[in-house]
Amino acid sequence: MSNAEHNDFRVVPTGRRMRSVEFCAGAGGLALGLEQAGFDPILLLDNRDVACATLRTNRPHWNVLNKDLLKFEPQFDLPRSTEIDLLAAGLPRVKSAATASRQRGSGWELELLESTGRLASELRPRALLIENVPDMVTRPEYRESRSCVEKYLDAAGYEYRWLVVDARDFGVPQHRLLGMLAALRDGGITRFEMSLTAPPPSLNLTVGTVLRPSMGARGWPQVDEWAAQANEIAPTIVGGSWDRGGGDLGPQGSVRAWARIGVNARSIGDELPAADFVWSPTLGSDRMVKLTIDQVATLQGFPSYWRIEGGKTARYRQVGNATPPPAAFAVGLALRAALIDY
């Protein structure tokens, strides 16, 4: 297996396929990883037309519902008499209660989190997985946010754990911390934790090794020189808000980190370096390479066949805000191991 093919490789588990429902499915990073771990979605919900188009393009057989989670009605929107093995949700970034109170019109993200907890207590899936920012797990100002979902899980008798994982530990060439809540209805949370912490195989993936094939696709003669300088893990890719301008790879700290490996992170490129492009990062950002959306998707762990729909900004937002599929795969395998044993 070459590094360029890393995000197409999965050891798909054998045995019974399990059923899942997913809220705020976005570009399908979480759903794809869970599918590879043995979960088939009976419903994926998202309120953005373009995200639903991406899901339908890649998996025409998936049942995709374009609807706001706050308007979700299980009795009408879900297939009847179906036990759910896993309820998953890649929720928008939850703000702390203090931040939400300072921002007019804010707080809907917390409503989505609370609605997910309520629906879990009503639907009683065998397992629940919520993915969000690591601050939701670690910082005291998010205690109210955590309590919103905990109250439903406690009442319904679930075992649960808050945890933070780094996607780089699961074959993603990027330092990306993910805050997660995993809950199990019938026991097995210790089994889940033990399965998740098993050391994965080392793939030695870096920006340079993963992107070298695409960077050299148009005959760029400096590709090996660039790849040698880019022989490190990427900083966290930031998808940004859907409510502001075009795509970039993150705040100033990230821009400086990208510049150290010769990448102009202030905007997204439209095409790969041509044979006549002169790369000389000491002369400024104009002499650095820009990453294309497809390359960003590769750094997020998406396979090359996964097609992202929409215009340039919408495509970048979907990719940048996605859960990396390899991380979702690892967590899905751990949940599957706990569900099989209990």
Domain boundaries defined on the chain: 17-201+320-341, 207-311
- Candidate from 39-48, 251-260, 276-285 with smallest mean pLDDT: 251-260
If one counts every other C-beta atom within 10 angstroms of the C-beta of residue 317, the result is 25
**Backbone dihedral region of 332: left (phi > 0), alpha (psi from -120 to 50 degrees) or beta?**
alpha
Q: How large a percentage of the chain has pLDDT more than 70?
A: 89
pLDDT in tens, 11-43: 566 678 999 999 999 999 999 999 999 999 999
- Candidate from 19-33, 74-88, 211-225 with smallest mean pLDDT: 74-88
Where does the pLDDT of residue 104 fall: very low under 50, low under 70, confident under 90, or very high at 90 and above?
Answer: very low
Average pLDDT, the chain: 90
pLDDT in tens, 310-335: 999 999 999 999 999 999 999 999 99
Contact in structure between 177 and 139 (CB atoms under 8 Å): no
Is a pLDDT exceeding 80 seen at residue 107?
Answer: no
Q: What pLDDT shows up at residue 249?
A: 83
Where does the pLDDT of residue 260 fall: very low under 50, low under 70, confident under 90, or very high at 90 and above?
Answer: very high
Is a pLDDT exceeding 60 seen at residue 99?
Answer: no
Is a pLDDT exceeding 50 seen at residue 3?
Answer: no
Residue 144 CB partners (closer than 8 Å, separation 6+): 96, 97, 110
If one counts every other C-beta atom within 10 angstroms of the C-beta of residue 21, the result is 27
What superfamily does domain 17-201+320-341 belong to in CATH?
A: Vaccinia Virus protein VP39 (3.40.50.150)
Where does the pLDDT of residue 240 fall: very low under 50, low under 70, confident under 90, or very high at 90 and above?
Answer: confident
Q: What pLDDT shows up at residue 105?
A: 44
Q: How far apart are CA 4 and CA 210, in angstroms?
A: 5
Q: How far is CA 273 from CA 41, 208, 226, in A?
A: 39, 14, 11
